[in-house]
């Protein structure tokens, strides 16, 4: 027979979990997913963890550090396997970039923060390493690859950030977007090209646009010597 339950003096409610950096980051991601990144404040994260804001500073340097950690955490989901798969390098490169984009599309607010402060966590470095490996496999000269990676990341991150801005709170608020009114408005005379191209300028973040962008950027990187 089993012995009587150990530690019977333990309270009914499970003890509040020990504070860890990972726990803080996970709590922050939960809040961001539910209420948006702007609600991820030290005080709110601390509240969720049943402690005070000051306690977080043992594990997190400041708010920017917390945001960076959140970003790196979600970058763990990016699929880097095409780097070692078979097939044409351009397509494999596009696959990795697409995976990165899909991850950021799910967290557009973090995409915006990635634009502002370039991440530098281990998962981000893994991704960059992977992109460089693929560019090298494609015979792209080193100097072009070094700057090209930036171009690729900027494009993918920017599109994800834009997507978030559009479908998020901002647009629901009926944000006065001058581009929209110029495209289908009375400003045909002032901005003829914008009016002429119309919706093509606004056609958002669909997979087509992403795929075209990757192709274009990869082609430019490979074809432009320094």
Interface residue with DNA, options 53, 125, 146, 178 (CB under 7 A): 53
Interface residue with DNA, options 58, 76, 179, 202 (CB under 7 A): 58
Tell me: does residue 126 bind DNA (CB under 7 A): no
Using CB under 8 A as the criterion, what x/- string covers residues 129-168 for binding a second copy? x--xx--x-----xxxxxxxxxx--xx--x--xx--x---
In order, the DSSP letters of the chain are -PPPPS-TTS-SSPPPPPP-HHHHHHHHHHHHHHH-GGG--HHHHHHHTTS-HHHHTTT-SSHHHHHHHHHHHHHTTS--GGGGSSS-HHHHHHHHHHHHHHHHHT-HHHHHHHHHS---SHHHHHHHHHHHHHHHHTT--HHHHHHHHHHHHHHHHHHHHHHHHHHSHHHHTT---HHHHHHTSGGGTT-HHHHHHTHHHH--S-HHHHHHHHHHHHHHHHH---
- Report the partner that residue 120 touches, choosing among DNA, a second copy, none (CB closer than 5 to 8 A by kind): a second copy
Interface residue with a second copy, options 30, 53, 58, 179 (CB under 8 A): 179
Part in contact with DNA (CB under 7 A); list of ranges 61-69, 148-156, 193-201, 216-224: 61-69
Six-digit token string for 139: 């015979």
- Report the partner that residue 127 touches, choosing among a second copy, DNA, none (CB closer than 5 to 8 A by kind): none
Interface residue with DNA, options 18, 85, 186, 200 (CB under 7 A): 18
Interface residue with a second copy, options 20, 81, 84, 117 (CB under 8 A): 117
Interface residue with DNA, options 26, 36, 44, 48 (CB under 7 A): 44
Binders of DNA: how many residues, by CB under 7 A?
Answer: 18
Tell me: does residue 204 bind DNA (CB under 7 A): no
Residues 15, 76, 124, 165: is their CA dihedral positive or negative?
Answer: negative
Summarize as ranges the residues that interact with DNA (CB under 7 A): 18-19, 39, 41-44, 51-55, 57-59, 62-64
């Amino acid at each position: 027979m089993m012995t009587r339950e150990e530690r019977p003096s333990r309270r009914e409610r499970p003890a509040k979990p020990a504070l860890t950096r990972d726990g803080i980051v996970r709590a922050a991601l939960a809040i961001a997913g539910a209420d948006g990144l702007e609600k991820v404040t030290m005080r709110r994260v601390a509240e969720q963890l049943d402690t005070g804001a000051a306690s977080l500073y043992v594990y997190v340097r400041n708010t920017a550090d917390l945001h960076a950690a959140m970003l790196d955490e979600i970058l763990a989901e990016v699929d880097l396997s095409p780097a070692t798969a078979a097939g044409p390098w351009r397509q494999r490169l596009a696959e990795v970039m697409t995976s990165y984009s899909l991850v950021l599309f799910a967290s557009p607010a973090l995409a915006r923060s990635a634009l502002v402060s370039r991440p530098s966590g281990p998962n981000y470095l893994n991704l960059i390493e992977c992109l460089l490996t693929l560019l090298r496999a494609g015979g792209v000269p080193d100097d072009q690859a070094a700057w090209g990676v930036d171009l690729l990341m900027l494009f993918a991150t920017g599109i994800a950030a834009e997507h978030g801005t559009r479908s998020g709170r901002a647009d629901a608020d009926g944000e006065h977007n001058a581009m929209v009114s110029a495209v289908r408005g009375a400003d045909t005379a002032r901005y003829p090209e914008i009016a002429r191209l119309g919706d093509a300028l606004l056609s958002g973040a669909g997979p087509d646009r992403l795929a075209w962008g990757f192709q274009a950027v990869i082609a430019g990187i490979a074809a432009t010597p320094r």
